[in-house]
Structure 1
Amino acid sequence: MPFSSLKKRLGNYIAQEGKKPGEGPPDLDQLWRDFNQRLNGLFGGGKNRGSNSGGGGGNGGGDMKGASFTFGAVASVAALVWLASGAFIVQEGQTGVVTTFGKFSHTTPAGFNWRWPYPFQANEIVNVSQVRTVEVGYRGSAKTKMASEALMLTEDENIIDIQFAVQYKLSDPVKWLYANRDAEDTVRQVAETAIREIVGRSKMDFVLYEGREKVATDTQQLMQAILDRYNSGAQVTNVTMQGVQPPEQVQASFDDAVKAGQDRERQKNEGQAYANDIVPKARGAAFRLIQEAEAYRAMTVQNATGNTDRFKSVLTEYQKAPAVTRDRMYLDTMQQIFSNTSKVMVDSKAGSNLLYLPLDKLIAQVAATEGRAASVTPPPPTAVLLPPEPTPDPNRRDSRSRESSRDREGR
């Protein structure tokens, strides 16, 4: 743009702004000279003031000098603006990366920073506190599946559908920016590679059920090892399994197989519960029978031993007095027999008739009258059984008659 046109426009602007009510338009030349003098005073141009006070020829020279000074001022302002363009602010949790002619130079902390403006240096701000997420097997939601990423082969040659998400942060912004061409895509490819390796070493049932957490942990460790070898500058913080299932084409058959396996486990559990109930009882009964048999054997042995000792003692006494011992044994035997019965048999000499005496009923009536029937058991009836008569002996007929009479008197 010509300088005269710039001067005319500046004069019109000053005339419009400096015009007051009731006054005429100001002198443009005088305003222009005042403006140049002020600029000269600011930038050291005071020694040209004398030349501007001359005649008309002097005014032409002053205009040329003013024009050159204005160009220098504009250049200075442009230089200041250019230098100011190198200033930048880094927020908390971020890191500034400065490059010199496209090559990494240094990093800057949070706060106000300055670098050389374009084209010497450039800067890029990287958020190192942000938790970034990479999705494998789906995008956005589980419904938008990526079959090429989700389908994987297990060790037992089965195909499963896995969808998972990887969360990571930046540990080194310089490596993140310059070590790999596409850092985020690198993280996704590393995640897919790691989980395919882990799944390929595991059984299908392990991945579907009890091994989900272990698969996620092993995938995170393997991912971190690969990313460190690639100098990616990323730190994996978490691997979350979003969905692990068989492919949709075989889902119905797989559900049937799962139900059959559950039925098998249920029946096994029921059988084990029944065995846990029966076996201890059988073992207890067997142990009880063994103990009872041992007790019976011990009792039998002790009784036999006691009977043997008693027989030996009786034999000793019998050898000393056979008749007395025989009579005593006979009486003891009869006492034991009659102590267990309530009937008493009496031998009658007259016609050898057997008489029945209801002594048990008589004793019960007596006990009832005395009020002791409920608490006192009536003693068994006692009886005296006469020994058998010996063979008639003419020499001992009188003594036998006397003994019979004494026995009758005793009865």
Structure 2
Amino acid sequence: MAWNEPGGNGNNHDPWSGGGDNRGKRGGGNDQGPPDLDEALRKLQDRLGGIFGGGKKKGGSGGGSGKGPSKAAGGGFFVVIIVLAALFWAGMGFYTVDQQERGIVLRLGKYHDTVQPGLQWNPPLIDDVTKVNTTRIRSYDHRSLMLTEDENIVDVDMTVQYVVADPVMYILKIRDPSDSLAQSSESALRHVVGTSEMHGILTEGRDTLALQVQARLQRYMEDYSTGLQISKVNIKNAQAPRQVQDAFDDVIKAREDEQRVINEAQAYANGIIPEARGQAQRLMEESNAYREEVVAKATGEASRFTALLTEYTKAPEVTRERLYIDTLQDVLSRTGKVMVDVEGGNNMMYLPLDRLTEQQPLRDTSGRPVRLDENTLNQLAEQVLQEARQRAQTTSGLREGR
């Protein structure tokens, strides 16, 4: 029969009674309640004391023989707890700092050291270690409406890239570095935009604007001891407000047209000015050549006249005849001529018909112009010959009458 069944709860069947010695009985040997917890803890302490060298002591006074082993067992147990706690505390102090990080050690709330990468140990609960990545490039985006120097509103969108250059300042010198960076970016951008014109910001002045903002923002970070290093400032977009964007697009287009017309005019000027200079230089060269020709011709004529004067002085008649022949040869060689032989003498009649027709066209009795073809010229020559013969006969009759 089991010990906890009715009628089977005697001394020999109770596992918690310890044999015939029923300690802490409640209602005699027939009590079926739960086991005594104090007795169970006492037995556990006795066993732990035996394991760690706190065995039972023999002899001594009758009352002290039961308390000595319990105190020794309790002291050994607490030593084990302390050793385990010390090992656990020491194990909590090991940590690893990555190659891209630096560790800031605060001992009892005060700065103690900066830990380099590798396996490190610091006493926990005494030292507080904060790891900071010093190589990762962080970014901050900012966009706002600003007033330019020429009193125009521009919408600027920029990105600030930065790294933590001094982790001690980044952690200890300022409460919120990110908020300081945001306010400093706003201030630097407004200062630079406020001293620039809108045309430069919207067109070719973005790079200059970014460099000026970066330099000013870096000075702010150094003055505020944030420990941040500004790597680059990018102006992603700069435009007029959306409400007036169409009007500004028209203005920009007009400026582009103006620049295009200026370039075309400059190209035309570059083409026409050298040509005009070349023509002017050609006229000057022709003028110089004409002057030299006239001077040389005049000099030659003067020398020829001097030579003719010398010959004329020696033989006036011969020289006069020679000059007359040369003059006729020069004149008649440059014009058309008709020679008419007059009967009854050795006189020749010269008719410059071509010159006459060039000066004034011939007309008949009705006033109509006459075309001088070969037949017309022959008829005209016959009329001239008849008129010449009549004059010759008249002249010869007058001579005979005398």
Q: Is the 8 A contact 1:52 1:59 kept in 2?
A: no
Match of 1:216 in 2: 210
SS at match of 1:155: coil
Match of 1:83 in 2: 90
Instruction: Say yes or no: does 1:123 pair with 2:129.
Output: yes
Number of residue-to-residue matches in the alignment: 313
Identify which of 97, 116, 120 aligns with 2:104: 97
5+ long unaligned stretches in structure 2 = 1-36, 351-402
Identify which of 307, 313, 317 aligns with 1:313: 307
SS at match of 2:135: coil
Aligned CA distance change for structure 1 residues 116 and 285 (closer, same or farther; 3 Å) = same
> Alpha-carbon deviation of 1:273?
2.6
Q: Which amino acid aligns with 1:163?
A: D
Match of 2:386 in 1: none
> Alpha-carbon deviation of 1:313?
1.0
5+ long unaligned stretches in structure 1 = 11-28, 138-149, 357-411
TM-score, normalization: structure 2?
0.70
Q: Distance in 2 between matches of 1:184 and 1:229?
A: 15
Q: Is the 8 A contact 2:42 2:70 kept in 1?
A: no
Q: Distance in 1 between matches of 2:66 and 2:273?
A: 128
Q: Distance in 2 between matches of 1:221 and 1:287?
A: 56
Q: Distance in 1 between matches of 2:324 and 2:155?
A: 99
Aligned CA distance change for structure 1 residues 4 and 182 (closer, same or farther; 3 Å) = farther
Q: Which amino acid aligns with 1:115?
A: N
Q: Provide Cα deviations, 1:346-376, integer angstroms capped at 9, x if missing partner.
A: 75664558699xxxxxxxxxxxxxxxxxxxx
Aligned CA distance change for structure 1 residues 260 and 323 (closer, same or farther; 3 Å) = same
Q: Is the 8 A contact 2:340 2:348 kept in 1?
A: yes
Q: Is the 8 A contact 2:97 2:131 kept in 1?
A: yes
Q: Which amino acid aligns with 1:247?
A: P
Q: Distance in 2 between matches of 1:52 and 1:321?
A: 188
Q: Which amino acid aligns with 1:126?
A: V
Aligned CA distance change for structure 1 residues 352 and 330 (closer, same or farther; 3 Å) = closer
Q: Distance in 2 between matches of 1:158 and 1:52?
A: 103
Q: Is the 8 A contact 1:190 1:223 kept in 2?
A: yes
Q: Distance in 1 between matches of 2:161 and 2:263?
A: 41
> Alpha-carbon deviation of 1:311?
0.6
User: Percent of aligned pairs with the same residue?
Assistant: 41
TM-score, normalization: structure 1?
0.68
SS at match of 1:51: coil
Q: Which has the greater radius of gyration?
A: 2
Q: Distance in 1 between matches of 2:337 and 2:71?
A: 168
Q: Which amino acid aligns with 2:84?
A: V
Q: Which amino acid aligns with 1:69?
A: G
Aligned CA distance change for structure 1 residues 317 and 184 (closer, same or farther; 3 Å) = same
Aligned CA distance change for structure 1 residues 58 and 84 (closer, same or farther; 3 Å) = same
Q: Is the 8 A contact 2:145 2:154 kept in 1?
A: yes
Q: Distance in 1 between matches of 2:232 and 2:58?
A: 78
- Give the aligned CA root-mean-square deviation in angstroms: 3.1
> Alpha-carbon deviation of 1:312?
1.1
